[in-house]
Amino acid sequence: MNYYYMNIIDLHDPQRVKRTPDEIEVLLSSGTFIQDEFIISTVELRLYNERVDEKLGNYSLITSFVETDKGSVEMIYDEGFRGEESLLRATAFLTSNLGISGLILRSIISLREKIT
């Protein structure tokens, strides 16, 4: 099967992530993790602060970004008024609850759908 490298932004409105993230937490960057036939090189959570409400604070969009040898996928992980340190809390939750493998699997499914 011939694969082309794909950059997928799996959001209803991809313009929301057409800028540099406000913060990035790297969850995996070794490049040696293999899931099915995909070599995973990077897994990140990315924070985009979209607006500020006087009472509720920052409205945050947190995305997952997974880069493989066949393409990358960025998709929504969480969004809303999550308060201060929302990216660090999301990272702690993922790493303490084996959520990284779920992120990788969701991303691979999305890549497979676009490739085949």
Please say whether the beta carbons of 62 and 86 come within 8 A. Answer: yes
Please enumerate in sequence order all residues whose Cβ is within 8 A of that of 54, keeping only pairs 6 or more positions apart, or say none.
none
| pLDDT tens sequence across 34-56 | 888 899 999 999 999 999 999 99
Q: Are 88 and 15 in contact (CB under 8 A)?
A: no
Q: What is the pLDDT of residue 1?
A: 42
Which residue range(s) make up the domain with 50? 6-115
Residue 1, in any domain of the structure: no
Span 97-116, pLDDT tens digits? 878 888 999 999 998 888 76
**Does residue 63 sit within a domain?**
yes
Identify whether 55 is part of a domain: yes
| Mean pLDDT of all residues in 73-84 | 93
Mean pLDDT of 66-88: 93
**Average pLDDT in the chain:** 89
Examine residue 31 and state whether it is found in any structural domain, yes or no. Answer: yes
The domain total for the chain is 1
Confirm whether 62 is domain-assigned: yes
Q: Considering the entire predicted model, what is its pTM?
A: 0.89
Q: What is the spatial distance between Cα 111 and Cα 84, in angstroms, rounded to a whole number?
A: 32
